[in-house]
Structure 1
Amino acid sequence: MEKETGMTRTVLITGAAHGIGAASARMFAESGDDVVVTDIDRDAAATVADEIRAAGGTATGNFLDVSDPEAWQALSRELRAANRPPAVIVNNAFFQVGGAAHEQTEDDWSKQLSVTLSSVYRAMHTFHDTLTEARGSMVNVSSVHGVLAWAEQPAYAAAKGGLISLTRQLSVDYAPHVRVNVVLPGAIQTRQWNHQSSEDRELAGRQATLQRLGTPGEVASVIQFLASDGASYVTGASLLVDGGMTTTLGA
C-alpha cells in the first residue's frame, strides 16, 4: 500500500540482520512502518528488532531461510495469523562464493542462485495476494555485479543480473496493483568488506565518481523512496546506487 498519513504498513525485509537490510529495517520503522526483520541468523534478526522497539518502533525478528519454500510458507502462516500481511517486500538476502565456474561445485552454484535470485520468486509466490490487496511494492537488491564483471564471481553475477530482468518481468505481471523495482548498489561499507584488504577498499573507493564507499543507510534511503508515495509512478526501474562507479568504469 502506498503509505498514507496515519496508516501503518507491514514491511518484510529479507537478509535484514546486517548491512543494507538492517539499515532499511530501521529506516522503515522510523517512518512508522511495522517491520518484519527476517534472516537465517535468528539471533541477529531478533537483535535488530529489539533495537527498533527500544527506539519506539514496531518490529519482530523472524527466522527465514529464503532458499527453503517451506520456511516461506511457515512465515506466511505466522504473519497472516497475526494480521500482518506484507504490503512491502524488500528482497535483500544473498549468498556469495568466489571462484571460477570450473572451481565451483554444483551446490555452490545452486545455492547462490537460490538465495539471491529464486528467493524473489518465492517472495512473490507467497505474498502476491497481500501485495496486490495493499496495492503494494517490492524492491529487490541487485548489485553493480549485474552490469559489470569482476573475476571469479560467475554465479553471483548471474544471480544479480537475473534480478534485474526478473524485476522488469514481475513489474509487468503484477501491474497495475504492485510496483516492482530494483536497486544496484556499488561498493557499500558492509561486513563483506571486513574480509578485504585496505588496498582493495581504497581501490573500490577510487573507482566511484564520488571517490568513496557508500553506506548502508544511503542505499536504504533509496529503497524506502521506491516503496513510498514519492515513487508512485515508478515501476520496472533499475536504480544505480553506486556513487558513479558504473560511470567511471564505463558500464
Structure 2
Amino acid sequence: MTGFDLTGRTAIVTGASRGIGLETARGLALAGANVVVTSRSQESADAAAADIGPAALGVGAHAVDDNAARRCIDITLEKFGRIDILVNNAGTNPSYGPLIEQDHARFAKTFDVNVWGPVLWSSLVVKAWMGEHGGSIVNTASIGGMKFEANIGVYNASKAALIHLTKQLALELSPMVRVNAVAPGVVRTKLAEALWKDHEPRVAAATPLGRIGEPVDVASAVHFLASDAAQWITGEVMVIDGGRLLGNAQSFRQGSARDV
C-alpha cells in the first residue's frame, strides 16, 4: 500500500514538544512530510524540531494565542507553501477533584486549550489553505470523553466536547477536509502520570492487551488517519486503549476461570 507515504506534504502538530505530539511529528516526518511543531516556548519547539530532524521546524505558539497561531500558519506557508495535515494535539488538565469543587479559572483553562484551541487552529488552516486545496485534521481526544471517572470530570467533559466537535467539523468541512480524532487510553506521558506512574502493574493487568500505551501507539493511528490510506474516513473517533474501554480484563479473566 502506498497510501501511507506523505512525501511532499506539510503537517502542523500542536503541543509537540514531548509525548504523543512529539512522537506523532516524528512519525509524520519519517513518512516523508515536512512538519511544523509547536510548543508554548520557542526553545522547546526548537528542541523538538532538532530531535525530529531536518524535515521539522519549531514555532513557539501557545494553543490559544490567536496571534501566535496565525503567525505559525504564515511561517508554515512561507517555508513550505502548503498545509495538508493539522494535528490538534495540545492539551491540558489543571483541574482535579469533584466538579463542584472546581473554580472557574481551571475550568475555563481546560476548555480553552482542549476545545477552543482545536477550533481555532482548524479555522485558520482551513481558511488559509485546506478549504481550497483539501486536507486532513486529526484531534487528540481521550477515552475519558466516553466514560465517567472520579476527579477528572472537567478534563473528560472537555474531551467529550472535542469528540462532538470532531464530528461537527467533519460535516461542516466536507468534502474538502477530513476531520477525525484519536481517543487514547492510559499512555506513558507526563500529562497522564497520575493515572499510571505509581501503579503501572495494576493498570497494565486491568488492560486486555497487558500494558499501558506508548506515544508511538497513538502516533501510528494519527499517521493512518492523516494519510490517503484513510481517504474515505471522516468524523470517526479511533479508540487506542489496549482494550481498556471493554472493561477490567483481570476481573473478567478471574470471573471466567471461576465459571469453568
d(CA) in 2 for partners of 1:19 and 1:188?
9
Give 1:111's aligned residue: 109
After TM superposition, list the pairs within 5 Å mapping 1:131-146 onto structure 2: 131-146=130-145
Selected match of 2:124 from 126, 129, 142: 126
Q: Is the 8 A contact 1:17 1:39 kept in 2?
A: yes
**In the alignment, which residue of structure 1 is the partner of 2:188?**
189
DSSP-derived class of the 1:65 partner: coil
Residues 33-72 of structure 1 correspond to what in structure 2 (within 5 A)?
A: 33-53=33-53, 57-72=54-69
Aligned to 1:82: 79
Q: RMSD of the alignment, in Å?
A: 2.1
* Counterpart-to-counterpart distance in 2, 1:32 and 1:59: 11
Task: Please tell me whether Structure 1 or Structure 2 has the larger radius of gyration of its CA atoms.
Answer: 2
Q: 1:10 to 1:195 in 2, by over 3 A?
A: same
CA spacing shift, 1:4–1:230, aligned 2, 3 Å: closer
1:83 Cα deviation (Å)? Answer: 4.2
- Asked if the contact 1:17/1:41 (under 8 Å) is kept, the reply is no
Tell me what 2:256 maps to. Answer: none
Q: Any conservation in 1 of the 2:6–2:227 contact (CA below 8 Å)?
A: no
Shifted more, 80-89 versus 221-230: the winner is 80-89
Tell me: CA distance 1:248–1:29, structure 2 relative to 1, closer, same or farther (3 Å).
same
**What amino acid is the match of 1:215?**
E
TM-score by length of 1: 0.91
- How far off is 1:226 after superposition? 0.4
Count how many residue pairs are aligned between Structure 1 and Structure 2. Answer: 246
5+ long unaligned stretches in structure 2: 250-260
CA contact (8 A) 1:3 1:9 kept: no
Give how far 1:198 is off. Answer: 4.9
Tell me how far 1:137 sits from its aligned partner. 0.1
Structure 2 residue matching 1:82: 3-state secondary structure: helix
Q: For the residues of structure 1 that align with 2:6 and 2:115, how far apart are their CA atoms?
A: 34
User: Structure 1 regions of 5+ residues with no counterpart?
Assistant: none
Measure how far apart 1:227 and its partner are: 0.7
- TM-superposed CA distance for 1:215, in Å, is 0.6
The residue aligned with 1:102 is 100
- Following the alignment from structure 1 to structure 2, what is the Cα–Cα distance between the partners of residues 191 and 6? 29
1:61-90: CA deviation from partner (whole Å, max 9, x where unpaired):
111111222221222232233344321000
Displacement, 1:39?
Answer: 1.1
Determine helix, strand or coil for the equivalent of 1:191. coil
Runs of 4+ in 1 over 4 A off after TM superposition: 2-7, 193-199
Change (3 A) 1:197 1:73: closer
Q: Distance in 1 between matches of 2:6 and 2:181?
A: 27
What is the deviation of 1:190? 1.2
